[in-house]
Structure 1
Amino acid sequence: MEINVIVLAAGMGNRMQHHQNKQFIQLAGYPILYHTLLVFQKMKAIHNIFLVVRNDEMSYVEKNILTLNDFSKVKKMVKGGNERPDSVHNALKSIEGEGLVLIHDGARPFIKEKDILKLIQVALKCNAAVLGVPVKDTIKSVDTHHLVIKTPDRRLLWAVQTPQAFDLNLIKQAYEKRYACSTDFWDDAMLIEELMNHDVKMVEGSYDNIKITTPSDLAYGEWIAKHQTDD
């Protein structure tokens, strides 16, 4: 069974307040996207990588990132869509056959191989699994006027990360159904939950698996890069 990875790197990253795509910003001496791709390139369990980038940045990625290492598992660069779901859908249409697909944010360079392997093992059994961590803060649900509606039980709340892993045919069917409804979906797993009426299993990941979105994230990322271990 082939295990494919979709790496999403087509976002604008406006919150980073930087002149270039956040995926291309230097982190520990290399572009953020380089670190992300390298994790999957090194894994024996991963067969193919489908890299989603903006059409006007494909040549930049080819010259400035893919040449930095032997990224032989990057089988195709896929044109990004107007929104994240469009980018995922474009990539899914590029993957043939059967197997698993992992969908991952290019701006999460600190994903650990051991967590990916745990995720794969669970997804192989139940067809849909996501990485996440228990929330540390108390969460309040509020209305449009910022009035508190309720306080959910923190023990039941997890912050969801990527990768998210799915049976390829299952997630393809979910994305086809997505375009027939007007509901907002906050992540790929929600399509499986709502449109396919299929259970999704949570797999505990690492708090270091941050998404670098703001300048403060980048500063924290530099700290992680200096202190991270392989455990």
Structure 2
Amino acid sequence: MLSTAGFAGIAALIGDPARATMLALLLDGRALTASELAAAAGITPQTASAHLARLTEAGLLAMERQGRHRYHRLASAAVAQMLESIMAVAAGQVAVAPVRPRTGPRDAAMRLLRSCYDHLAGQVAVALADRLAARGQIELSPDGGALTEAGRGFFAEMGLALPEARGGRLICRPCLDWSERRPHLAGRLGTALCGFCLEQGWMRRVGDSRAITVTPLGWQALHQRFALSPQDF
């Protein structure tokens, strides 16, 4: 049962202007570093780290590691709903929206689509993962992922041969996107999808860079298979 002290404690955490700014920045579903959140809130990274530790301990934020970086995101949809409700109540007051930090590469081509090791990353890759998850063809969570029966049927109909298990590597897992700060698809399925798109001529690599471009044939295929078009980006 919720105690008055617990209710007051959560309210006090959110009531700090710096913490409120950082929480508001995470409402769009992205994950940001302590340095990015500190800059947006106008505080030092050390102060931001202390705030983030308290918010995480209270269950408002979750932290995940990607390489040498630590990214912070809202812990649940319930937290987002709570913040949105508070914002709705405060909507009548004059407020200045926090400046959102720019994340990832400045090059537009790299932001749109690129390789991340052996799978796709960038805006298009995140949109692909979103479509597959929304249609129940994959399941992604902070702990891992799964390919559903609907997903197996979808990829079989598309002509993508599902990769055999090897070395204990997961068939499907989320990978936090560097620029979008939301998950794209990794694992054996992510690798297979990247290779398939390149082999089919839907996508091609740009010189020696990590950038990947979608061909006209590819946009037709992405529109047919995933309901995605260039106007979406």
Interval containing the TM-score (normalised by the shorter chain):
under 0.3
TM-score computed with the length of structure 1 as normaliser? 0.26
Which structure has the highest helix share of the two? 2
Larger radius of gyration: 2
Return the structure number with greater relative CO, CA threshold 8 A, min gap 6.
1
Which structure has the highest strand share of the two? 1
